[in-house]
A = this chain, B = another copy of it.
């Protein structure tokens, strides 16, 4: 198993770098930006804890695996904030192409069978067509909203986000996989925007 171990540890050593990728959302006490490694940890916990809110056909443990690896491409590409460039940068063709190249480079560090499995998981997440990927994507949209709210506004302030923009860019994506969760979240965060005339 030594050759496999070499490859497994080459990958595990490389992904340590995700701890240096910062996001637009601050952590709970607004003391610093969140990084993509700890964000991924939170999302894996979200997938476990909210499993009974998921639609039929969702495999919550598969979603955990997806969410553990979903941002690894940012080691090469960086995080593209959802509200940057008027909300358009996140899903641009350039970014998507760069992320695919990064996924292939990083997952290829693993033994071939695991590289194929992780690449397929990542592509399933990105495509957001299976129930499990839709669930995982909804969680990935929900957590930053709650963390922005917890920290006092976070990237909503930095990017002058209005309530309509939040509903369009984020709320609709949460509601796609988790309509009950979006209803709950909406009730809690709507006043933050209303209080500021946004």
Please report A residues at the B interface, Cβ cutoff 8 Å: 1-2, 4-5, 8-9, 11-13, 15-17, 19-20, 27-29, 31, 34-35, 37-38, 40-42, 44-46, 48-50, 52-53, 61, 64-65, 68-69, 110, 114, 143, 146-147, 150, 180-181, 184
Contact = CB atoms under 8 A, between A and B. Distances in A.
Contacts of A69: 45
Contacts of A48: 65, 68
Nearest to A114: B49
Nearest to A188: B9
Instruction: Sort A-B residue pairs by CB-CB distance and give the 9 closest, nearest first.
Output: A41-B41, A37-B38, A16-B28, A38-B38, A19-B27, A5-B184, A37-B41, A19-B38, A8-B49
B147 A45 contact: no
Contacts of A45: 12, 15, 68-69
- Total copies of this chain within the assembly: 2
A31 B22 CA distance: 14
B42 A37 contact: yes
Contact of A9 (B34, B61, B65, B184): B184
Contacts of A143: 12
Contact of A20 (B20, B29, B50, B65): B29
B49 A11 contact: yes
